[in-house]
Structure 1
């Protein structure tokens, strides 16, 4: 039975946090059950129905790449993105005083043909990234006390990186996804701290921790996830050099992709309900700034983190819901601070006093470092679990204050010029699930219920490698 217009308005206002997993009868408070929600298609006029070959859920790195490439392959697309921009973790701040730009999300990419071709398609020039900052002063501080860590100097990881690379070389398939053998190699299931001890790799821990920000509690993570994050191509790029944009505006790529997609990019929009059982296509009910729309698509490409509370409105079956329910996640936050009192050429890195490998305690600041714009400092913060933005900001400000209280740096009371949550970040499952074939079952979802998946949960938090993963999947999506 169809819904009244009053019902449609009620549906449009339903809380995005309410889970509406209709096939399982898991409709949350304030959400209409899935069948009733989709029955309103007869209420909406033809001008509210968008017919496309593929609907892409999420406009981050993988969603944008998938959408543009599918169009190149002759397919019509619609991208559904909750933010007011494309790019996801790629976030660029423009300083109103100087016009200078600072990337506070994705900073670099791999030196790979797919990366160069992708940027060249939008006429965005690339250059080798430089991590050298002449005149940089570094302080190594335990942010719990604000005091400098006595006797600390960064270790030389060179020899340990070679030994680490020898271990990675045993698992080349990790560079392409989660196609794990059965049984899963025992070393991949070890907590990384145990793996480090087993192979005497302590000198590389600090390097991996700093590079793999967002992994949460590094030493407790299964080695599998560390290898995925800090893999063979990362080691290669440490030698040949990473890429960044010559105009130092990493969001330019996504601005140009947005212009090309035009009305096919539905920004500030969210999925309200889906029906993937419709004959010949899937129906996706979407709340957009201009009202409710129905997207009729032959296939879906889901690029958002597949956690149940992030899949509001999806008609998940028992297999899908059972797998996605197992995901936990870490959290990662970035921003820019004004008026810190920290000199423009000073980086203050969080180092644990008396901790294993001097790793800082998390939740906590990774570092506060120069942005390249006078008066602005970058801040990076991580946690093994999700936190409110309010609590993260408060902890950052408290850490800056402790630097002054301890007499380490004469800081002031700063304010946030911009703050960005990149959470949920690393999606992981328990070791037992990995051992019992979780990732084989996850991979088997590709194509099920007209739906394909890409994004970090299916590979790793690395735009370059995700573009390769997505490119390999495109022939199946376009078939």
Structure 2
């Protein structure tokens, strides 16, 4: 569920219970004290996370006559779908996921809520280039596809030829052959040189924002994301909200799910079966109204399955061996008010002097887009390493103040919308991929009554995430 600049191309230790005297301990093997029956919320499935995958799963499971409860740490559903509503005009300004491929899993989902979509072609070359480390403009030939440039045409043909060699990359799952082709394990920079796709590397980098250094990223992940479907979407257009409100889907889902969502809530403990024959899973959640105990037949984890996120689930050795291998990149999105004191400017892309392909230096701003509201700009920021939100905000503002553009005076900007999409691209090392990581990950589905979905198991595309989730539900839940 990618967030891209179309102009240039996700607690502690187990349990600190309050008032534990109210709980009983029916079995000494339990790590959670189970309350009386009347104090337990009973569901078929407890879903961890109310982002793209979690919301889709909740809606579909209810359609399939399964009872659910969603535990969501934020005050809303939607994950990477962010919208700022301008208080003066009331116009919605999307600064998160806003486009979708024309697939039945997408159109069926939106049709369920009677939400209209429209096909739009987003320009790929209407931007100017500035080195945000110095603020100086940089003269670089724009890239678009289709293109009249023979180098770009050749690069696209070469790239499509490589994609054609690996049709399994279009699957929702990582269905990887054994052995895995060595080219897929190359750093993407080496792959680009080997197959002469240099002319479109900046374009590919623009569609994989949030991946850290794209040249160092493993080719498998780059090809999985910048797919044949993406190229067709650039050329033919993609679906987007007619209303321009990219929270519309999740607002409709919130209304339908009602009290089956626990907002501003986190898992603080879990008991996933006493033994192999026990099909009860217990979750202890901290909610704004206090602790809530949930018993479910199955647990569906839709948040990034990193070791840090899964601490409350008391992982066993099998799970530890898999989830400790994941690491993520870092990505932020924001809406900025009053950057331009005088004049106006087109979209500005961060392109650096002296770097390969003039790609931006990270951590740093990726670029800045105009929005439908004059005076509001959409700004994206990325890093390969952890940064606090406050550090990102400081660096973001400092970078914008350095920009020099003809006939424009830039003043102290105000950040009016801000969201972290970290960890973003969750990956494993090449040696883990070669050793069958994704085969072992898929084999973990159902272990201790727990299942997993989300971008870490497929790619940052809504149709892939929803398609993966759909298949998982029909394979294991109904």
TM-score by length of 1: 0.89
- Partners in 1 of 2:367 and 2:224 — Cα distance? 23
1:401 alignment partner, SS class: helix
Give yes or no for the alignment of 1:172 onto 2:167. Answer: yes
Q: Secondary structure at the match of 2:415?
A: strand
1:202 aligns with 2:235: no
Q: Secondary structure at the match of 1:219?
A: coil
Question: Hey, what's the Cα distance between the residues in 2 that align with 1:280 and 1:193?
Answer: 48
**Residue in 2 that maps onto 1:13:** none
* Structure 1 or 2: more helix by fraction: 1
Poorly superposed stretches of 4+, deviation over 4 Å: 35-38, 342-345, 406-409
Matched, 1:126 2:123: no
Which residue matches 1:12? none
> How many Å separate the matches in 1 of 2:407 and 2:434?
47
Work out the CA distance in 2 between the residues paired with 1:311 and 1:389.
22
What is the CA deviation profile of residues 129-159 of structure 1, one whole-angstrom value per residue up to 9, with x for unaligned ones? 24249xx97321111110011x421245333
Q: Distance in 2 between matches of 1:272 and 1:36?
A: 18
The whole-number CA distance in structure 2 between the counterparts of 1:84 and 1:431 is: 37
Unaligned 5+ residue runs, structure 2?
A: 1-10, 21-27, 144-148
**2:149 is aligned with 1:161:** no
Matched, 1:147 2:136: yes
- Aligned residue for 1:302? 301
Cα deviation code 1:265-312 (max 9, x no counterpart): 111111111111143210111111221111111011110001111123
The equivalent of 1:61 in structure 2 is: 52
1:266-281 matches, cutoff 5 A = 266-278=262-274, 279-281=278-280
- Does the C-alpha gap of structure 1 residues 411 and 37 become closer, same or farther in structure 2, counting only changes over 3 Å? farther
Q: Give 1:327's aligned residue.
A: 326
What is aligned with 1:418?
417
Per-residue deviation, 1:103: 1.0
Cα distance change, pair 408–401 in 1 and its aligned pair in 2 (3 A): farther
Distance 2:407 2:467 in 1: 45
Q: Deviations over 1:315-347 (max 9, x none)?
A: 211111121111111111110111111744522
CA–CA distance in 2 between the matches of 1:306 and 1:220?
A: 22
Q: SS state of the match for residue 69, structure 1?
A: helix
CA RMSD in angstroms, aligned pairs only: 2.1
Which SS does the other structure have where 2:398 is aligned? helix
Contact 2:47 2:300 in 1 (8 A): yes
Preserved contact between residue 132 and residue 403 of structure 2 (Cα < 8 Å): yes
Whether contact under 8 Å (1:53, 1:77) holds in the other structure is yes
Residue 236 of structure 1, CA deviation? 2.4
Alignment of 1:443 with 2:442, yes or no, is yes
- Is 1:186 aligned to residue 182 of structure 2? yes
The answer to whether the 8 A contact 1:52-1:77 is kept is: yes
Check the 8 A contact 1:329/1:386 in 2, yes or no: no
Q: Distance in 2 between matches of 1:138 and 1:445?
A: 45
In the other structure, the counterpart of 2:387 is: 387
Please give the alpha-carbon distance, in whole angstroms, between the structure 1 residues aligned to 2:29 and 2:360.
50
Cα distance, 1:46 vs. partner? 4.1
Structure 2 SS opposite 1:360? coil
In 2 relative to 1, CA 165–19 (structure 1 residues): closer, same or farther, beyond 3 Å? farther
3-state secondary structure, aligned to 2:312: coil
- The alpha carbon displacement at 1:48 in A equals 3.0
Residues 301 and 452 of structure 1 are in contact (CA less than 8 Å); yes or no, is this contact kept in structure 2? yes
Structure 1 unaligned spans of 5+: 1-16, 21-26
What is the alpha-carbon distance in structure 1 between the residues aligned to residue 29 and residue 261 of structure 2?
27
- C-alpha distance in structure 2 between counterparts of 1:407 and 1:128, whole Å: 34
Q: Deviations over 1:384-419 (max 9, x none)?
A: 122111111111111112125x87842111110111
Partner of 2:310: 311
Relative to 1, partners in 2 of residues 1:147 and 1:243: Cα closer, same or farther, differing over 3 Å?
same
TM-score between both structures, scaled by the size of structure 2: 0.89
Q: Contact 2:32–2:271 (CA<8 Å) still a contact in 1?
A: no
Matched, 1:83 2:74: yes
* CA displacement at 1:349 relative to structure 2: 1.0
Residue equivalent to 1:11: none
Which whole-Å CA distance do the structure 2 matches of 1:366 and 1:337 have between them? 14
What is the number of equivalent residue pairs in this alignment? 447
CA distance, structure 2, for counterparts of residue 325 and residue 277 of structure 1? 22
- Change in 2 beyond 3 A, CA 1:364/1:413: same
For 2:348 and 2:236, the matched residues in 1 are separated by 28
Range that drifts further, 58-67 or 160-169:
160-169
Does the aligned pair in 2 maintain the 1:208–1:230 contact within 8 Å? yes
Cα 1:345/1:141, change in 2 over 3 Å: closer
Report deviation, 1:313: 1.1
1:235 aligned residue: 231
**Superimposed CA distance per residue, residues 240-283 of structure 1 (whole angstroms, 9 cap, x where no aligned partner):** 31100101111111111111111111111111111111432101
Q: What residue number does 1:353 align with? A: 353
Give CA deviations for 1:99-132 in whole Å, capped at 9, x if unaligned: 0101111020111111111101001100012424
